Amino acid sequence: MADEGGVTTTTTRKCTCSWCDVLWIVTTKEGWLKLVEAIMTFLTIVVLESFPYEIDSKSPYEFLVFVATAALIFVVLHIILRMTHLFEKLPSALRHPVLGLVGCFVVALCLLIGSAIVYAKGDKYYVSEMEASGICGFISTLLFFCEGIYFVFLYRRATRRRAEEKISREIQADNFARPAKPEYV
């Protein structure tokens, strides 16, 4: 802020590049959430794959690897689309909060199931890598669940805004016709 003769002016920082906003990920709550989701799902995959288990016993853990990999791909894709401002140009059906809400809750449920299986096997056989991967999966589950709740609030706000717009459109007089003989003349 600068004070010039009693007048206070405020300056705001604007992104210098028009096609990419790299600071989106650290300046918004959604960006931080996506960053932590990406890190935790990546850790879930890496820690589980670092355990040298036998090839024939790999099938119970492939579900968690598949779900975490799919979640990581979608999170990174969302981050890239938001940073390059392409997310706003997607059709409104793909940006609708209900789609994000359902997606986050389904991913959270799948991560919960896969993490529970891996954590239980690691606890049973005393394998710390599997327990750590299960814990990272549980944290990812919590993060996706919180994001699903965020989408619930976005959906409620969007429906409330649409209802207010509908009321304001009904109140406005579109084709106002003036009287033929005004009385004040």
CB atoms inside a 10 Å sphere around CB 160: 10
Q: Mean pLDDT, the chain, as a whole number?
A: 83
Question: 170 pLDDT exceeds 70?
Answer: no
Q: How far apart are the C-alpha atoms of 54 and 111, rounded to whole Å?
A: 23
Provide the pLDDT confidence category of residue 13 given band limits of 50, 70 and 90.
very low
CB 21 within 8 A of CB 124: no
d(CA 77, CA 41): 14
Average pLDDT over residues 140-166: 87
Per-residue pLDDT at 167: 64
Query: What's the mean pLDDT in 5-24?
Result: 62
Question: DSSP label at 8?
Answer: E
119-143 confidence digits (pLDDT tens):
998 888 777 888 899 999 999 999 9
Tell me the CA distances in angstroms from 164 to 46, 47, 93, 98, 171, one per residue in order.
Answer: 48, 49, 21, 20, 11
Q: How far apart are CA 97 and CA 148, in angstroms?
A: 9
| Distance, CA of 11 to CA of 182 (rounded, Å) | 50
Asked if residues 37 and 144 have their Cβ atoms less than 8 Å apart, the reply is yes
DSSP-assigned beta bridge partners for residue 8:
3
Cβ–Cβ under 8 Å, residues 44 and 133: yes
pLDDT in the model for residue 162: 73
Domain edges within the chain: 19-166
Higher pLDDT, residue 129 or 11: 129
* 102 or 126, higher pLDDT: 102
Query: Mean pLDDT across the stretch 157-181?
Result: 67
pLDDT tens for residues 47-89? Answer: 988 877 664 466 778 899 999 999 999 999 999 999 998 988 9
Within 8-127, residue ranges assigned H as helices are 24-27, 29-50, 59-83, 92-95, 97-125
Q: What is the pLDDT of residue 55?
A: 47
